[in-house]
Amino acid sequence: MKVDFLFETSWEVCNKVGGIHTVISTKALNIVEELGDNYILIGPDVWREEAKNPEFIPDDKLYAEWRGMAESEGLKIKAGRWNISGKPVVFLIDFTPFFGQQNEIFAKFWEIYKLDSISGQWDYIEPALFGYAAGRVIESFIKFNLTNIWFDDFIIP
């Protein structure tokens, strides 16, 4: 089986806070050798403008046309490479614009999936909104890059 793209999403992509960072960064080289730039990691853009992320190598040319369209959809994405062996493609997402929409997003999660977020504190809300933003990024990327192949029949309401 050949995949068009493989996305891996984690809070610890270009953001070393625990053991998952080590797991992902050590397996990345093997996956890059197999899939090349079709292996795309997605992490949170937790570094602010005044601080440079030492693990992230920006590349403004990487998927520039798609990122322009994604920005018009309200998605804030930095593209580049993770500064580890294999230098995999990375999208860092600024998910903070979704903070103002959290009630609507969580209401929809309840309606569709019965996901109870009513008692969720910040340690629930922040990663859930990052996950939501990551899903939106993947959806946008696939629609832009693979629509003619299969995505039109796969959209989940």
Distance CA 42, CA 40 (A): 7
The mean pLDDT value of the chain amounts to 87
Higher pLDDT, 148 or 145: 145
Torsion of the alpha carbons at 74, 75, 79 and 82, rounded to the nearest 10: 160
**Beta carbons of 13 and 82 less than 8 angstroms apart:** yes
Residue 44 has pLDDT above 90, yes or no: yes
Q: How many domains does the chain have?
A: 1
- Establish if 152 belongs to a structural domain: no
Express as a percent the part of the chain with pLDDT over 90: 59
Going by pLDDT thresholds of 50, 70 and 90, the confidence category of residue 124 is confident
| 154 phi, psi to nearest 5 deg | -110, -5
- Establish if 142 belongs to a structural domain: yes
Closest residue by Cα to residue 16 from 54, 52, 51: 54
- Establish if 156 belongs to a structural domain: no
Higher pLDDT, 151 or 15: 15
Residue 17 has pLDDT above 80, yes or no: yes
Going by pLDDT thresholds of 50, 70 and 90, the confidence category of residue 139 is very high
Going by pLDDT thresholds of 50, 70 and 90, the confidence category of residue 148 is low
Residue 28 has pLDDT above 80, yes or no: yes
Q: What is the CATH number of the domain that holds 73?
A: 3.40.50.2000
- Establish if 54 belongs to a structural domain: yes
Domain residues for the domain of 122 are: 6-147
- Establish if 116 belongs to a structural domain: yes
Residue 3 has pLDDT above 50, yes or no: yes
What does 57-118 look like in DSSP terms, one character per residue?
EE-TTTTHHHHHHHHHTT-EEEEEEESSTT--EEEEEE-GGGGGGHHHHHHHHHHHH----T
Express as a percent the part of the chain with pLDDT over 70: 89
- Establish if 157 belongs to a structural domain: no
| pLDDT score of 129 | 92
